Amino acid sequence: MTRMVRILGLALPALALSACVVGPNYSHPTTPVPATGGGFVEASHNAAIAATPLPDHWWRLYDDPAVDRLVTEALAHNTDIRVAAANLERARAVLSEQTGARLPTTSPSAQYSRQQANSASAAAFGGAAAAPQTFRFDSFKLGFDASYEVDLFGGVTRAIEAARGDAQAAQAQLDAARVSVAAETARAYASACSNAAQRAVAIETVALQQRTLGLTNTLFTAGRGTRRDVERADVLLAQTQASIPGFEAERRASLYALAVLTGLPPEQVDAAADACKAPPTMHTVVPVGDGAALIARRPDVRAAERTLAADTARVGVAVADLYPKISLLGSIGLNATRGSQLFKSSAANYSFGPLISWSFPNQTVARARIRQARAGADASLATFDGKVLGALSEVEQALARYAGALERNAALRRAEAASTSAAKLSQVRFTYGADSFLLLIEAERDRADARAALAQSDAAVADAQISLFKALGGGWEDAPAPTRREAAAQ
């Protein structure tokens, strides 16, 4: 017992030194000046943009129950989100593993064996020849081994820090997947509705052009027109009819994509999306917040920052390999040839003492790993800076495109109203012989082009809005955990 106390006395100074942690301490990296405050450049001269904070569920600004339901289902059942959630669970398990390294490793054991030896084996080594005899005996063993690595230079501490950073980065990547899925679900729904609206415009235009063709035929039969007039009217009709299959194909393709985004087979098309005839519209200004809020909210920026923290901790792990490692080992056991003797004092045995290991003087490998870890941390810092700049750039670009889409939409709306009035007037004037057929055809073509352009612009506005919200990085807050869809199996 006295010897054990002396050994513990020698080990206590090593335990006291375990508070020493080598390697660089992590500090949050600085961000570019625009990210620390102030609004966005493009938002300063756009009346459709407000600097108010972005809501947690931006898609509810459309006030469309179908959009809200579809995005909610996608956040709960999308396969990409499920993959990201599984990656998060794996990262958390790694963190638990690294945290467990702080605890002693224990290994209880129990063994029973029956052994047999023959005396004839002694003669093989020069022993006296005698009649072979057989010896049988039992062996009972109980043991308990324990080991504990003293975190003398903080290698275990840094490994835990790295695993914690990886887990937090995986959480941010899950949030990034939610951002992308929410935006792409809303985009697929808007695309289906927009193509349905453009198809409806084309069908309505076809009906008008068919009436014009019928009138042209009537006038040709009555001798007031030419065959060329009829053919030109037919060409205009055929061109509009040719656009309808394309709109229908794109509409169905969007519906299939929407089903998969919500975790369903493509053939299970959503009924509300299938019946939609116009893209969702927002009747309020778009809230975008400021640069500081954007950097704090964007999951990809948070993931890059947490990855940088993890890689900085890995430098400490590599530096700790330059120094000795000390482990405290202990073992206690009971050995006997009879079960009744197993718990007597004579059956007891034990061992206790430190184990020191050190790669010295050849530390080439350890120093090479330090350089690798530092290079990885430098790359992670550059990645973080790039994510910050990219986030700011994406929002400014999205704001510029959204402003352009709104201005173009307003101009096309005026053009559509004017072309409709001009076409109606030309139709009346042609009927009474005041306008030529050429003027009528030009008016019909202008109206068809204006209506088609407006429908396409409405789709572009919805798409630009969704791209802006995606760039702002919202929609992951309070998202439901991904689960299997039980209703699909019923």
For 55-104, the pLDDT digits (tens) are 989 999 999 999 999 999 999 999 999 999 999 999 999 999 999 999 99
Mean pLDDT value of segment 8-26: 63
Sign of CA pseudo-dihedral 220, 223, 228, 229: negative
66-75, 223-232, 278-287, 406-415: which has the minimum mean pLDDT? Answer: 223-232
**Predicted confidence band of residue 490 (pLDDT cuts 50, 70, 90):** very low
Mean pLDDT value of segment 266-295: 93
**Predicted confidence band of residue 439 (pLDDT cuts 50, 70, 90):** confident
DSSP string, 234-275: HHHHHHHHHHHHHHHHHHHHHHHHHHHHTTS-TTS--HHHHH
**Predicted confidence band of residue 119 (pLDDT cuts 50, 70, 90):** low
Residue 349, beta-bridge partner list:
333
**Predicted confidence band of residue 281 (pLDDT cuts 50, 70, 90):** very high
pTM score of the predicted model: 0.85
Mean pLDDT value of segment 360-375: 94
For 116, other C-beta atoms within 10 Å of its C-beta total 8
Token readout for 167 is 């887990």
The predicted pLDDT at position 17 comes to 46
Residue 322 or 8, more confident: 322
Q: Is the pLDDT of residue 19 over 90?
A: no
Classify the phi-psi angles of 115: left when phi > 0, otherwise alpha if psi is within -120 to 50, otherwise beta: beta
The predicted pLDDT at position 484 comes to 47
253-257, 311-315, 360-364, 371-375: which has the minimum mean pLDDT? Answer: 360-364
Token readout for 418 is 């004017």
The predicted pLDDT at position 45 comes to 83
The predicted pLDDT at position 303 comes to 97
Give the residue from 323, 320, 322, 318 showing the smallest Cα distance to 376. 318
Residue 221 or 85, more confident: 85
DSSP string, 414-457: HHHHHHHHHHHHHHHHHHTTSS-HHHHHHHHHHHHHHHHHHHHH
Contact in structure between 88 and 177 (CB atoms under 8 Å): no
For 203-213, the pLDDT digits (tens) are 988 988 898 88
Residue 114, beta-bridge partner list:
138
The predicted pLDDT at position 480 comes to 62
The predicted pLDDT at position 4 comes to 43
Token readout for 33 is 């000046």
Residue 327, beta-bridge partner list:
149, 355
For 160-199, the pLDDT digits (tens) are 999 999 999 999 999 999 999 999 999 999 999 999 999 9
For 128-168, the pLDDT digits (tens) are 555 667 777 788 899 999 999 899 899 999 999 999 999 99
Q: Is the pLDDT of residue 7 over 80?
A: no
241-255, 409-423, 436-450: which has the minimum mean pLDDT? Answer: 436-450
The predicted pLDDT at position 34 comes to 52
Token readout for 121 is 């084996």
Residue 140, beta-bridge partner list:
112, 336
Contact in structure between 71 and 185 (CB atoms under 8 Å): yes
406-410, 423-427, 437-441: which has the minimum mean pLDDT? Answer: 437-441
Q: Is the pLDDT of residue 122 over 80?
A: no
Q: Is the pLDDT of residue 215 over 90?
A: no
Mean pLDDT value of segment 292-300: 93
Mean pLDDT value of segment 342-371: 90
Residue 303 or 431, more confident: 303
**Predicted confidence band of residue 297 (pLDDT cuts 50, 70, 90):** very high
The predicted pLDDT at position 124 comes to 52
Q: Which residues of 151-174 are buried (b: 16+ CB within 10 A; e: fewer)?
A: bbbbbbbbbbbbbbbbbbbbbbbb
Helices (H), 262-355: 271-275, 291-297, 299-320
Residue 355 parent element (H or E)? strand 348-357
Q: Is the pLDDT of residue 37 over 70?
A: no
Give the residue from 392, 5, 452, 54 showing the smallest Cα distance to 242. 452
Mean pLDDT of the chain: 88
The predicted pLDDT at position 427 comes to 85
Mean pLDDT value of segment 299-325: 96
